[in-house]
Structure 1
Amino acid sequence: MDFGAISMTQPTITAFLRRPTCATLSIAPLLLAASGSAMAEFRPLDDSRLSDVTGQAGVTIELETKLAIDRLTWTDEGSINVNGIRLSGQNDTTLDNMKLTLDIAGDGEVLDYGFSEVARRADAGQLSTSNPDVADALANYKINGSYGRTFNSGDLVMHLGAIDYGDPTSLDDFLHAVDFELGVDSVETTGTGGSTTMFSDILLQGYVGPTDLVIRNGGTSTRTLSNGDVVSGSELQLETHFEITNGSLNWDASDLILIFNFAAVGIEGLQIHNRRGNDTAGHFGMAYAKANFSRGTSSRSGKDGLSVHDVEFRADIDMPVFKIGPDSIGNVQFTDFAITDTNMMVYGH
């Protein structure tokens, strides 16, 4: 892939250790230099005492950034170009207030995941469980006095949240802590006959909810999916909640699910959320997406490739201005839009 011109403003990244294992060890050199009398207070740790010292030193990264990519190109016989990619906070501000925690799990360790922070606040009485989403979070993320999800030894867990969630009793502050804006000038195909613009003037503004990226340590184990594909037990798992509060795009020439061609369609005021219907529990009004990625072998062709499996997407979609040509045909809405039981095998040919 040709990334063309890529520019990024200088990010501010602060990394530090969380939950230090033993503060005494870190200040020992200072105490040694202080005085001989202080040494009388030190006692060696025997094996039984050492067994009580647990290493829980994860890493936290505080991040703010703006990203711009002039052109992203995939070339085969022809090429696909994604032009003018921009990622920032809303209204071209800095994308900030993000906190990424990284931990390598011990066997059975409970680490922050999903709406674990909501469960923590609910258990402390800061949020009312009369809200069904809060009650769902407490039921699903409180585990033996800890909050999150249980992982296996060697799993790498990355949890994206906010540095400052605002008022701990406010769900609105929690859900709107990290805002973003994504813009794309155009997506076009190019060949010997010229170029065709598929999409143009794409703009998405909204909020990022809890997002988790887990690399499962499955060793050399494998498992068989419901469609017969065999995939590695070591896989990358992505799960995220988000909301689009304002979006627009021109659908110049492209197919939807390889069936419907929506050429000359314009969408304005796009919103993607999960506030209607019968599929809202546990999502706090946000859209939800997940997918797992690993090496796999197709049961149909026998080809090895990248398996994208256990794909799921749940949302309500509002398009208050849906244009065909220059004129709007009215308001289009999808309620309980769900993609489930979806597996893909991707390989070259």
Structure 2
Amino acid sequence: MKRRTVYLGAAVALLTAQPSFSQMKTLDDETMGGVTGQAGISIELEAKVNIGEIAYQDGGYLLVRDMFLGGIGGTALDNILMTVDVSGNNETLGHGFSRMAEWADQGLVSTADADVADAVAKYDQGGGLFGKTFNDGDLVIHVDATDPGVLASNTASQNLDAYKTATDFELTVGSVEYAQSTYSPGTATARGSLMFSDINMQGRLGPADIVIRNGTNTYSDTANGNLSVSDSKVEVDAFFRVDDLDMNWDNGDLIVLFNFAGLKLRDLKIHNTRGSDSVGSFGFASVSADLSAGNSNLTGSAGLAVTNVDLRMDIDMPHVQFGSRPSIGEVYFTDFVIQADMLVYGH
């Protein structure tokens, strides 16, 4: 179990040097001039979350019951390092798989691997800088493994495997269900119709980034012209993998179009190892989106704009069962991509 620690100032700069690196490089004066604003905050996180019930009331209630989020086997969700920085002008900060580019520079992983080569192309800025360049005043939160298992004594392939499995998670939900307007939150009485039940998900986490852009609150139209959104926004990018998902789809619509009442899914997997868009993902599925204030150019409504949504994954469904009968067979999705813009507001 790792201690939760907060390191400030110069301590952060020392710790983020990654003790697994096997060598150091001398930087000339010009390069040193570009290494600015390196002070920040690092947080090593260890946590378990238990929620008995979440109740959302509109007319009736939508209930989420018996939720747990932690590590596999009921342990804590740990091995998570969060760094928080406020960027200077054109400052390079960690983002995505930028550590892979740094490890490649140190010889700990090999660019013979297509994912590593892609990380180097994206994140090696030259002069010993690895990451993404941000604007003056941007708040950058980067989440990755505290101990990625990358060692000088490992082979390049062993280091890749260690990183891909460094941080595990487990999410369980007892049920998602409807209840009538007379329901009293927290009483667990007057149960309504089940939507989903017995959800158990285990997997691995890759890097995640939250960037709060220091914009001018200037509005511009999206590509299709339906929304006008602010340039002061939150950008979210995350990588994850589901190694085992079991659930019962009891009754309920998903994205309006799909209703598979009585469906039981077992051993479902979500990843990105097949198809035309897997390079650069290190086998993780990915999701990204921008969140900002927005207005509909069609209805005039104002709300939360969720734009540039991009969800990419492959899905393996080796056990698809309806009711108590045997599995009907196996289903596999490759290059499953959802791209969307939306505006969320009350009615």
Counterpart in the other structure of 1:314: 312
In structure 2, give the amino acid aligned to 1:319. Answer: M
Deviation string for 1:15-71 (max 9, x for gaps)? 012546999xxxxxxxxxxxxxxxxxxxxxxxxxxx999543100001111110111
Check if 1:185 corresponds to 2:144.
no
Check if 1:15 corresponds to 2:15.
no
Change (3 A) 1:258 1:11: farther
Counterpart in the other structure of 1:110: 92
Counterpart in the other structure of 2:48: 66
CA contact (8 A) 2:12 2:41 kept: no
Percent identity, aligned pairs only?
45
Could you tell me how far 1:13 is from its partner in structure 2? 2.4
Deviation string for 1:112-147 (max 9, x for gaps)? 000000000111222111111110000001113311
Counterpart in the other structure of 1:197: 194
Counterpart in the other structure of 1:29: none
Question: Aligned equivalents of 2:2 and 2:300: distance in 1?
Answer: 44
- Is the radius of gyration larger for structure 1 or structure 2? 1
CA contact (8 A) 1:20 1:56 kept: no
Counterpart in the other structure of 2:113: 131
Structure 2 unaligned residues grouped into runs of 5+:
15-32, 183-189
SS of 2:315's partner is strand
Could you tell me how far 1:12 is from its partner in structure 2? 4.8
Counterpart in the other structure of 1:277: 275
Structure 1 unaligned residues grouped into runs of 5+:
1-9, 24-50
Change (3 A) 1:155 1:206: same
Question: Aligned equivalents of 2:98 and 2:13: distance in 1?
Answer: 26
Change (3 A) 1:255 1:52: closer
Correspondent of 2:144 among 158, 161, 182: 161
SS of 1:256's partner is coil
Question: Aligned equivalents of 1:22 and 1:249: distance in 2?
Answer: 44
Check if 1:290 corresponds to 2:265.
no
Could you tell me how far 1:162 is from its partner in structure 2? 1.0
Correspondent of 1:207 among 204, 208, 211: 204
In structure 2, give the amino acid aligned to 1:245. Answer: D
* RMSD between superposed Cα atoms in Å: 2.1
Counterpart in the other structure of 1:37: none
Could you tell me how far 1:191 is from its partner in structure 2? 1.8
Deviates more, 1:120-129 or 1:245-254: 120-129
Change (3 A) 1:18 1:97: farther
Check if 1:217 corresponds to 2:214.
yes
In structure 1, give the amino acid aligned to 2:195. Answer: M
Counterpart in the other structure of 1:336: 335
CA contact (8 A) 2:320 2:329 kept: yes
Correspondent of 2:241 among 217, 240, 243: 243
Change (3 A) 1:200 1:52: closer
Could you tell me how far 1:257 is from its partner in structure 2? 2.5
CA contact (8 A) 1:21 1:55 kept: no
How many aligned residue pairs are there?
Answer: 312
Q: Please report the TM-score for the alignment, with normalisation by the length of structure 2.
A: 0.86
Question: Aligned equivalents of 2:11 and 2:263: distance in 1?
Answer: 55
